[in-house]
Amino acid sequence: MKYINQRQSPRIDIRLQCQVSCPGLCPRTSMVTENISRNGLLVVWKSQSPGAGLPQPGQLVTVDIELPANHGFGRKCIHCQGVVVRVTVPQDGVPRVALNVNYMKFRAFREKIPALERLEPAGAATWLS
* Per-residue pLDDT reduced to its tens digit, 25-62: 766 788 999 999 989 999 998 866 665 678 899 999 99
Helix, strand, coil share (%) of the chain residues, nearest 5? 5, 45, 55
Q: Is residue 122 part of a domain?
A: no
Q: Is residue 79 part of a domain?
A: no
pTM for this structure?
A: 0.73
Segments forming the whole domain that contains residue 41: 9-59+84-111
Domains: count for the chain: 1
In 3D space, the residue among 75, 74, 58 whose CA is nearest the CA of residue 66 turns out to be 75
**61-87 per-position pLDDT tens digit:** 999 999 887 767 778 899 999 999 999
Which helix H or strand E contains 115, and what residues bound it?
A: helix 114-117
Q: Is residue 124 part of a domain?
A: no
Is it the case that residue 93 has pLDDT exceeding 90?
A: no
What is the average pLDDT across 113-125? 41
Q: Is residue 3 part of a domain?
A: no
Q: Is residue 64 part of a domain?
A: no
Residues whose CB is less than 8 angstroms from the CB of residue 16 and which lie 6 or more positions away in sequence, other chains included: 32, 33, 36, 65, 66, 67, 68
Q: Is residue 1 part of a domain?
A: no
